[in-house]
Structure 1
Amino acid sequence: MTTHFSRVLPMIPIKTESAWRGTSDCRACAVRDMALFAELDERDFAQIHAPIDDLEYKTGESLYSEGQGAQGVFTLRKGLLKLVRLTSDGRQRIVRVVRPGDVAGLEALVTRRYDSEAVALSDVLVCRIPLTVLQGLATHSPRLHGALMGKWQGALKAADDWLAELNFGSARQRVSHLVRKMQSAEQPDEVLLFRREDMGAMLDLKLETVSREVSALVRDGILEPLDRLGRRYRLLDDTGLQALQQGD
C-alpha cells in the first residue's frame, strides 16, 4: 500500500472524475477540529492505508445520487451542500443543508447506499473518505467510533430540526427562519438562498408567497440583493430579522 499523505503542496483539489489519488493531508486540514478526524492521533493516522481525496465541485454539481452504491463519505471543507430526497409523488424535498465540518453520506456505513442526493449549493471543497478507512479506524479507535456515532446522531437531529423549525409559524416567520439558517459560515452577513420552488417545498408555502416575503425583506431593508438570480443577499438588519423570527 502506498502512503496517501502528501506535504509537497497543501490541499490541492482534484477534479471529480479523477481516481482515488490520495491527495489529502488530514493532519494539516484547516477544518480538522470540526471534522471526523479531530479525535485521531499519530498512531491512528498510521493505520490509514487507503487514499483520502480532496475534491472540488461547482455549483449545481451532484456528489452522489439517492440510492447510489457508496464507496465513501464526504467531509465538507468549504461551501454548502443540500441533501435532496424524492417524495412518493416524485417531488424533490431538501432535507438538510451541510456546512463546513459536517459529514454527508454517513448512512453508507450501514446501508452501503446513499439515502439522498448531495448537490453543491455553491462551489465546494470536500474530502472523500473510503468506507474501508472509517470501518478500520472505528474497529481499533474507540475515539473515532464515538465521533462517528456523535456525527450520525447530530446529522439525524439536524435533519429533524431543519424540517420542524421551517414548518412552524407564519409565512414571514418561516422565511425569516430560513434566511437565518442560510447565513454563510465564512461571512455571516451573506445569505445564500435556494430557488423559490425549493424554498416553497421546504417551508410548505406557495411559490408566490415565498417570493412576496423575500421581496418584503428587501423592501424593509433587512436584505440587500447581491445578484440578479435572487440567490445571494447581504443581511443588513440582524435585529430586524430576529424580531420577524419571533413574530414581532
Structure 2
Amino acid sequence: MPACAACPTRGTCLFTGLGEGPLADGARASVTSRALRLAEQVEREGQPGLRVHVVRQGTVKLQHQHPNGHVRIVRLLGPGHVFGLEALLHEPYSHDAAAVGQVTVCSAPSAALLTWADHDPQAYANLMRHWKANVDQADFVIDSLSTGTARERVWRLLHHLARHQPGGAFVAPSRADMGALLGLTTETASRTMAAFAREGVLTERRGLMYLTPGRGHADAA
C-alpha cells in the first residue's frame, strides 16, 4: 500500500480499517498510486469498471459527454473522495474522470475490495459510507451549484474547493470547466472570477487560489 502511513486522507479514505490477515494483506498489496498531470484521464465513460479510485491529492473532475458533443461536469472530487464505485457492481464507468492540475490517485481492483467486504463487516460499512458520500456530492451539485445567480454558484464552488484542500489552497478549474459544472457560459465564469479578484475575495499565490476570510459570504445565500 503506497505511503499510506503519511497519507493525509488515511483516516477517511476507502482503505480505512484494513486490519491484519491474508485478506487485508491481499487488499493492501493490490493498491497502486499514480501521479496525474493536468487533464490526464483516470477512467473513461463506458470503459469496463475494474478498479475503484481514491483522490489522494488534488482535484478530479467527473464529466459526461452528451450525444450532441456537449460536455457537462457533474462533480469535482478532492482528497479522500472515492470514484469508480460502479466497478463494484461489475458495471462500466459512468463518467470520464480527469485531473484538474497535479493529482495523485490511489486505486484498487474491485475484486479485491469485494472479497475484503464479504469477510469484514467494517469494510462493508466503509464501502457503504462512500456510496452515501457520492450521493451527497450529487445532491450538493444539484442543490448548490445549479441554482442561484452566477456569483452565488461560483462562490459556493470556490468555498467547496477550499474546504476540501489542505490549508484551503486549491487549484481553480479552468473557466470552461467552471461553466460546464455550473451551467454558465465560459465568459460569465471568467467575469465572475475577475470580479472576486478585484474585490479581494480571491487571491492567487504561487499558482494556488485562496479565499480571503470574511469576504464573499454574502454570495453564499
Alignment partners' CA distance in 1, 2:101 and 2:111? 29
- Contact 1:95/1:163 (8 A) holds in 2: no
Equivalent in the alignment of 2:13? 35
Alignment partners' CA distance in 1, 2:42 and 2:120? 28
Equivalent in the alignment of 2:35? 56
Question: Structure 2 stretches of 5 or more lacking a match?
Answer: none
For normalisation by structure 2, the TM-score amounts to 0.89
Equivalent in the alignment of 2:87? 108
Bigger Rg, which one: 1
- Contact 2:155/2:219 (8 A) holds in 1: yes
Structure 2 counterparts to residues 127-142 of structure 1, below 5 A: 127-142=106-121
Structure 2 counterparts to residues 47-86 of structure 1, below 5 A: 47-48=26-27, 51-86=30-65
Alignment partners' CA distance in 1, 2:67 and 2:133? 26
Question: Structure 1 stretches of 5 or more lacking a match?
Answer: 6-23
Q: Does 1:245 align with 2:208?
A: no
Deviation at 1:141, TM superposition (A): 0.8
Deviation at 1:29, TM superposition (A): 5.2
CA 1:136–1:213 in 2, change beyond 3 Å: closer, same or farther? same
CA 1:156–1:200 in 2, change beyond 3 Å: closer, same or farther? same
Q: 1:176-216: CA deviations, max 9, x gaps?
A: 1111122161231x342222222122222222222221111
Q: 1:91-148: CA deviations, max 9, x gaps?
A: 1111111111111101111143111111011212222101111111011111111111
For normalisation by structure 1, the TM-score amounts to 0.80
Structure 2 counterparts to residues 94-243 of structure 1, below 5 A: 94-183=73-162, 185-188=165-168, 190-226=169-205, 232-235=208-211, 237-243=212-218
- Number of equivalences: 218
Partner AA of 2:12 in structure 1: M
- Contact 1:163/1:202 (8 A) holds in 2: no
Equivalent in the alignment of 1:11? none
Partner AA of 2:15 in structure 1: F
Query: Larger helix proportion, structure 1 or 2?
Result: 2
